[in-house]
Structure 1
């Protein structure tokens, strides 16, 4: 026979309320198209390692996040932005921690 499973009362944590969501910079400034040649603006949406930041981190809306991704990929193809960031001198890896790449 199978053993009975007990209904254990688990402590429930309070729901995570992150506060207010960032508003899209491009919507605020009424930008229609994001230009791939504007490298200074695109660098805000790229991490130190060269990865494109997610909408949750960057605060861009769905439409503009898609345009940022296309513009970054186009700028990389034209060699205006690097595909990966320059390596560190230490050479030691610090494991698989993902938090170092997520700046807010």
Structure 2
């Protein structure tokens, strides 16, 4: 029988908590790092953000989309 080896990953730390960064919808450069190339907001398990900052990040991305700072899809 084969022995299964588990690979443990280092726990991701919320970037906004660690560096004391404020999330602002006007900062399109920061928000682009949390959006996929298809225009979807990346989930917490991939980005490592905490629940509090993920909620504010999602609303900031949605606001930036409506005032056309971020496109709804990036693949065009």
Task: Point out the structure with max Rg over C-alpha.
Answer: 1
Once the two structures are superposed, residues 17-42 of structure 1 have per-residue CA deviations (whole angstroms, 9 ceiling, x without a partner) of 541221000001123x4100001110
Q: Which has the higher helix share?
A: 2
> Where does 1:1-104 land on structure 2 (aligned, <5 Å)?
14=4, 16-31=6-21, 33-87=22-76
Query: What SS does the corresponding residue of 1:41 show, helix, strand or coil?
Result: helix
Relative contact order, higher structure (CA 8 A, sep 6+):
2
What residue ranges of structure 2 are gaps of 5+ in the alignment? Answer: none
Corresponding pairs, count? 76
Q: In 2, Cα distance between the equivalents of 1:79 and 1:16?
A: 44
What RMSD, in angstroms, separates the aligned Cα atoms of the two structures?
1.9
